[in-house]
């Protein structure tokens, strides 16, 4: 699409901010997969509309203030990227634009407090644990709390699982086929520590030694996706420093983290350590992609047969383009039948902190997702992202016989141990 954006004024982010505008041919193919368009049926709340709007803001014909509503409504689910035949890198566009918006916006106190509370707790496992505990305690008094934090309280688990002790090195079983580092994740470590345990077991069973750097930090995804760039840079730098050079890959088992690291090229654009950041991003792989790449060691059959429906996490399927590896893993397990839900491409409404900031849209999407998953009558739901896991579990609560929601590696680990 033609534009009159003054690229020179945009600095190092100019490529991210203009590629999408230039590549978009306004064909509308992205509209049907966009959850907000589906809900609202308005051009301005569609990917195509947002791209147009961003263009106008960057051209200076629409004030930033007027664009914030529809930009905030975007879940960052990246479904539009998968749908786009023209190669629009919408993820880079929205991330870069949000960072710009965040630095320019005047925001109401409530939103500021909410964001600050989230960004100061979730990325830090210890703080998150305390916050969740405290939140759990106050949940009964939810009605007395300010409206802006009620949705956050709704998502809190009633109790927290016991923390997993993670060694510094987890050895490979049998001949060694690789050595990797594991990103343990922030929220995930607190809410579902068993995912990291399963990841280690599965890697080990596949002859891979895992290093778990003690001083690792949050990847910065949560901050980056909400436009809090400085904060993202700080923690990303610490993560980069903590990963040893002699590993084949940095493994992520939460899709949100993987896609966040993939965006280091945007975050670090023009920074002195840009090259190092990109090098780490190139090395970063989702656990499913890594296993698929090195070739899975044939798992034994599950003790009991199981029908598993696979949920494509947006940040794995759309943002990282990985749909086949998790399916290859699941179908490799004897005694497991893989089921596919309708409308796989539509977001479950979790999307980072979206379910906290836009609870109504998030709820509608969560309900739709769970209905679609349940229509396949599964024994279990498999997925690769902690955010989706929490959201889907929450919406399954209303079902009498809710199937367990598991990470792909948890099922694989079960097969290896059965």
Partner 1 sequence: MELLPELAKLYPSDRLFTKKSQLITYETDGLTSFRSEPLAVVVPESNEEVIATVRLCHKAGIPFVARGSGTSLSGGSMPVEGGIVITLNRLNKILKIDPENRFTVVQAGTVNLKVSQAVAAHGLYYAPDPSSQQICTIGGNLAFNSGGAHCLKYGMTANHVLAIKAVLADGEVIEIGSESGDTLGPDASGFFCGNEGLFGVALEVTLRLTPKPQRYCTLLAAYNSLKKAGDAVSSVVDSGLLPGAMEIMDRLAIKAAEMAVKAGYPQDAEALLIVELEGETDAVEEDFKHLLALIENTGAYETRVAANEAERLTIWKGRKSAFSAVGRLSPDYLVQDGVVPRSRLGEALVKIETYSKEYGIDVANVFHAGDGNLHPLIMFNGKEEGALHRAEELAGKILKMCVEMGGSITGEHGVGVEKKAYMPEMFSEIDLECMKRVRAAIDPKEIANRGKMFPGGEAPALSTVGSHPLEKAGIISRE
The DSSP code for 352 is T
CA distance 141 to 87: 48
| 30 forms part of the interface with ligand SF4 (CB under 6 A) | yes
The Cβ of residue 403 has, within 10 Å, a number of other Cβ atoms equal to 19
Q: By the 8 A CB rule, do 224 and 237 touch?
A: no
Q: Which of partner 1, ligand SF4, none sits in contact with 226, Cβ below 5 to 8 A by type?
A: none
Q: Give the closest residue to 407 by CA, choosing from 371, 372, 376, 381.
A: 381
Q: Which of partner 1, ligand SF4, none sits in contact with 207, Cβ below 5 to 8 A by type?
A: none
Q: By the 8 A CB rule, do 232 and 223 touch?
A: yes
- Angle (CA) 70-73-76 rounded to 5° is 115
Could you tell me how far CA 215 lies from the centroid of its own chain? 22
Nearer to partner 1, 39 or 379 (CB): 39
Identified binder of partner 1 from the candidate list 5, 16, 17, 53, rule CB under 8 A: 53
Nearer to ligand SF4, 204 or 226 (CB): 226
Site for partner 1 in 54-73 (CB under 8 A): 56, 61-63, 66-67
| 187 forms part of the interface with ligand SF4 (CB under 6 A) | no
CA distance 349 to 335: 31
Binding mask 77-106 for partner 1 (x = CB under 8 A): -------xxxx-------------------
Q: By the 8 A CB rule, do 118 and 356 touch?
A: yes
Burial 31-52 (b: 16+ CB within 10 A, else e): bebbbbbbeeeeebbbbbbbbb
Question: Helix, strand, or coil here: 64?
Answer: helix
Number of residues near ligand SF4 (by CB under 6 A): 27
Q: Which of ligand SF4, partner 1, none sits in contact with 365, Cβ below 5 to 8 A by type?
A: none
CA distance 258 to 190: 18
CA distance 226 to 72: 9
Only one of the segments 48-56, 246-254, 273-281, 374-382 lies at the binding site for ligand SF4 (rule: CB under 6 A); that segment is: 48-56
For the bound state, the minimum distance from the C-beta of residue 54 to ligand SF4, rounded and expressed in Å, comes to: 11
Residue 98: its H or E element: helix 90-104
Site for ligand SF4 in 209-248 (CB under 6 A): none
Identified binder of ligand SF4 from the candidate list 90, 124, 290, 310, rule CB under 6 A: 90
For the bound state, the minimum distance from the C-beta of residue 89 to partner 1, rounded and expressed in Å, comes to: 12
Q: Which of ligand SF4, partner 1, none sits in contact with 280, Cβ below 5 to 8 A by type?
A: none
Site for partner 1 in 7-26 (CB under 8 A): 22-26
For the bound state, the minimum distance from the C-beta of residue 89 to ligand SF4, rounded and expressed in Å, comes to: 10
| Residue numbers at the binding site for ligand SF4 (CB under 6 A) | 24-30, 33-36, 47-48, 50-51, 74-80, 83-84, 86, 88, 90
| Residue numbers at the binding site for partner 1 (CB under 8 A) | 1-2, 22-29, 31-32, 41-44, 46, 48-49, 52-53, 56, 61-63, 66-67, 84-87
């Amino acid at each position: 699409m033609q534009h009159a954006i003054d690229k020179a004024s945009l600095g190092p982010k100019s490529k991210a901010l203009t590629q999408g505008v230039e590549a978009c041919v306004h064909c509308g193919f992205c509209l049907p997969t966009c959850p907000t368009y589906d809900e609202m049926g308005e051009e301005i709340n569609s990917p195509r509309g947002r791209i147009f709007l961003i263009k106008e803001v960057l051209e200076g014909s629409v004030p930033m203030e007027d664009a914030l509503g529809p930009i905030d409504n975007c879940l960052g689910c990246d479904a539009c990227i998968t749908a786009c035949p023209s190669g629009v890198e919408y993820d880079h566009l929205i991330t870069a634009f949000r960072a710009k918006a965040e630095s320019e916006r005047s925001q109401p106190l409530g939103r500021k407090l909410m964001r600050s509370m989230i960004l100061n707790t979730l990325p830090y496992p210890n703080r998150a644990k305390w916050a969740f505990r405290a939140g759990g305690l106050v949940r009964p008094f939810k009605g007395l709390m300010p409206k802006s934090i009620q949705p956050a309280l709704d998502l809190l688990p009633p109790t927290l699982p016991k923390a997993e002790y993670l060694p510094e090195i987890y050895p490979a079983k049998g001949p060694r086929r690789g050595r990797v580092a594991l990103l343990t994740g922030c929220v995930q470590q607190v809410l579902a520590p068993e995912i990291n345990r399963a990841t280690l077991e599965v890697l080990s069973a596949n002859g891979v030694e895992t290093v778990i750097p003690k001083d690792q930090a949050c990847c910065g995804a949560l901050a980056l996706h909400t436009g809090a760039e400085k904060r993202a840079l700080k923690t990303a730098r610490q993560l980069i420093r903590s990963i040893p050079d002699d590993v084949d890959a940095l493994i992520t088992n939460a899709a949100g983290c993987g896609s966040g690291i993939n965006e280091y090229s945007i975050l670090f654009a023009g920074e002195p350590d840009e090259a190092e950041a990109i090098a780490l991003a190139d090395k970063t792989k989702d656990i499913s992609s890594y296993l698929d790449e090195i070739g899975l060691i044939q798992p034994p059959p599950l003790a009991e047969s199981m029908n598993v429906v696979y949920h494509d996490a947006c940040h794995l399927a759309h943002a990282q383009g990985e749909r086949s590896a998790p399916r290859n893993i699941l179908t490799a397990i004897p005694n497991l039948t893989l089921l596919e839900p309708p409308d796989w491409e539509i977001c479950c409404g979790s999307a980072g902190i979206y379910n906290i900031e836009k609870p109504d849209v998030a709820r509608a999407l969560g309900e739709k997702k769970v209905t679609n998953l349940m229509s396949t009558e599964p024994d279990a739901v498999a997925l690769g992202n902690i955010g989706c896991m929490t959201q889907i579990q929450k919406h399954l609560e209303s079902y009498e016989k809710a199937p367990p929601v598991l990470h792909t590696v948890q099922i694989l680990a079960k097969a290896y141990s059965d």
